[in-house]
Amino acid sequence: MPAESAVEPSPEILAAFRAAKGFMPVGEGLALYRAAVEAAALGLPVLEVGTYCGRSTILLADAARAAGVTALTVDHHRGSEEQQPGWEYHDPAVVDPEVGRMDTLPTFRRTLHAAGLEDHVVALVGRSPQVAAVWGGKLGFVFIDGGHTDEHANGDYEGWAPHVAEGGLLVIHDVFPDPAHGGQAPYRVYLRALESGAFTEVSVTDSLRVLRRTGAGTAI
């Protein structure tokens, strides 16, 4: 991957990332940005699964803007399982009072507007497997950061990993080999990607894993 000093977001983009509602630490965000910059150079769209309020989308959109490609982000915007009422990551500020359910889409749109990136992102509102089933093109980059159950993590992997072009990058968040540090579904998907023979590991930054599509093997 390019030298880290050569690929840093601007102070304005980094400030927008820090200000946005979300959970990704800065160190992992910078690693995500570097991977997106490299992959966007392939001239193909970059895609993330799991938009939430757009914190990581800022970085992907900025990388896409610089390369002249589009950033795609997939989410139903009703929150993942750990964001529902009574769970650790629930935020009542993003509950729609009219329907009584989470709706992160308005906050996401405000996040992009504040960062000046609305014109560089296509928001795909729907459940990841349904969107993946109708997606027909290749992608230079796929970032899996959606639901953390085995059902959802495997659905995201099976739906989107086959679309990663040769030489493109698959990035998986919240990979914790030690169960004491976090849920295991993303870790199992990470192992599945390596065992497929289609991906090789490029870098590790805390819980963020960057893998490259080699062309060998099948993604699922």
CB distance 203 to 38 below 8 Å: no
pLDDT at 78: 87
> DSSP of the chain, one letter per residue?
---GGG----HHHHHHHHHSSS---HHHHHHHHHHHHHHHTTSS-EEEE--TTSHHHHHHHHHHHHHT--EEEEE-SS--GGGSTTSTT--GGGEETTTTEE--HHHHHHHHHHHT-GGGEEEEES-HHHHHHT--S-EEEEEE-S--SHHHHHHHHHHHGGGEEEEEEEEE----SSTTTS-SHHHHHHHHHHHTTSEEEEEEETTEEEEEE-SSS---
For the domain bounded by 4-213, which CATH number is listed?
Answer: 3.40.50.150
* Nearest-angstrom CA–CA distance, 186 and 191: 9
Domain ranges of the chain: 4-213
pLDDT at 86: 65
Cα dist. 18→4, 10, 15, 111, 165 in Å?
19, 12, 5, 11, 31
Q: Which of 102, 100, 105 is nearest to 91 (CA)?
A: 102
pLDDT at 217: 65
pLDDT at 95: 83
| Mean pLDDT for back-to-back runs of 10 residues, the chain (220 residues) | 65 98 95 98 98 97 98 90 64 79 92 97 97 97 94 96 97 96 94 97 98 80
Dihedral sign for Cα 91, 50, 103, 45, please: positive
* Nearest-angstrom CA–CA distance, 200 and 182: 23
pTM: 0.91
- State the catalytic residues: 148
pLDDT at 2: 42
pLDDT at 88: 66
Structure token digits, residue 70: 């589009």
pLDDT at 93: 81
* Nearest-angstrom CA–CA distance, 167 and 213: 5
Q: Rounded to the nearest 5°, which phi and psi values hold at 167?
A: 90, -10
Q: For residue 5, give every residue at least 6 positions away whose Cβ sits within 8 Å of its Cβ, in sequence order, or none.
A: none
